[in-house]
Copies of this chain bind each other. A is one copy, B any other.
Amino acid sequence: MFDSQSTPPRSERRDAAENRQRILDAALRLFEQQGVEQVSMNQIAAEAQIGPGTLYRRYRNKAELCTDLMKENIILLFDNIEAYLNDNKPEPAIERLKGILNLFIRFREKKSQLLAGVEESTTTNRSRSRTHGPLYLELHQLLVDLFDEMADSGKARPNSVFKADMLLMALSSDSYSFQRTERGYSPELFLEQICLTFDLNV
């Protein structure tokens, strides 16, 4: 699912592989020192001792780089979710949904900076990086399935795709960090409010 660029069709050239690693190392180093936000593509190229062109050949923007850096963590997140879902099969869909939201919010807390980097969408970028990344798509599908399951044994069915879109919007870096910092919500209170607002209660 997430190996689309780490395992290209036919073997990566040796020098290219080395540069990839240099980039990843350099980025991680700089991100730790100065914060994701503050580091420019230029700096990363310099730190990795490659030209800007080489960097941009591989990653069209910082968001893609961050996504690559997060790959492992994203896989872990989905492993967690899968395990959670397996352990809680008998729970009602709504309960499992809450569980997933909880896992995602913890994930967001732990990796807030890089995750913000992943979702960063400079208006200049033609493609909607946020909504088209694997993280979004995968989560979206998960939510849609749960909403559909809830609707099956329920009454009226709001369009699950739309509902999932709105929920992910509400959980976006932008929204979440606004609520955390400006409105002063804790992760727990935030989740509670989300449940109230999106009608996710027993």
Question: Shortest CB–CB separation between residue A54 and chain B, in angstroms?
Answer: 24
Tell me if A131 and B182 are in contact (CB < 8 A).
Answer: yes
Chain A residues touching B, range: 20 to 34
Tell me if A166 and B170 are in contact (CB < 8 A).
Answer: yes
Tell me if B166 and A197 are in contact (CB < 8 A).
Answer: yes
Question: Shortest CB–CB separation between residue A193 and chain B, in angstroms?
Answer: 4
Contacts known (A37-B123, A120-B123, A123-B122); A178 close to B165, Cβ less than 8 A: yes
For the complex, give the distance between the alpha carbons of A123 and B122 in Å. 7
A80, CB-defined interface residue at 8 Å: no
Tell me if A162 and B37 are in contact (CB < 8 A).
Answer: no
Question: Shortest CB–CB separation between residue A173 and chain B, in angstroms?
Answer: 9
Contacts known (A158-B197, A197-B158); A131 close to B178, Cβ less than 8 A: yes
- Residues of chain B lying within 8 A (CB to CB) of residue A28: none
- Residues of chain B lying within 8 A (CB to CB) of residue A172: 169
A198, CB-defined interface residue at 8 Å: yes
For the complex, give the distance between the alpha carbons of A175 and B172 in Å. 11
- Residues of chain B lying within 8 A (CB to CB) of residue A182: 128, 131
Tell me if A163 and B197 are in contact (CB < 8 A).
Answer: yes
For the complex, give the distance between the alpha carbons of A170 and B128 in Å. 16
For A170, give the chain B residue with the smallest CB separation.
Answer: B166
For the complex, give the distance between the alpha carbons of A163 and B192 in Å. 12
Pairs A–B under 8 Å by Cβ, sample size 29? A37-B123, A116-B123, A121-B174, A122-B122, A122-B123, A128-B178, A128-B182, A158-B196, A159-B196, A161-B183, A162-B179, A162-B193, A162-B197, A163-B196, A163-B197, A165-B175, A165-B178, A165-B179, A165-B183, A166-B166, A166-B175, A166-B194, A166-B197, A169-B170, A169-B172, A169-B174, A169-B175, A197-B198, A199-B199
Other CB < 8 Å A-B pairs besides A116-B123, A131-B182, 13 of them? A122-B123, A156-B196, A158-B197, A159-B193, A161-B183, A162-B179, A165-B178, A165-B179, A166-B175, A166-B194, A169-B169, A169-B174, A199-B199
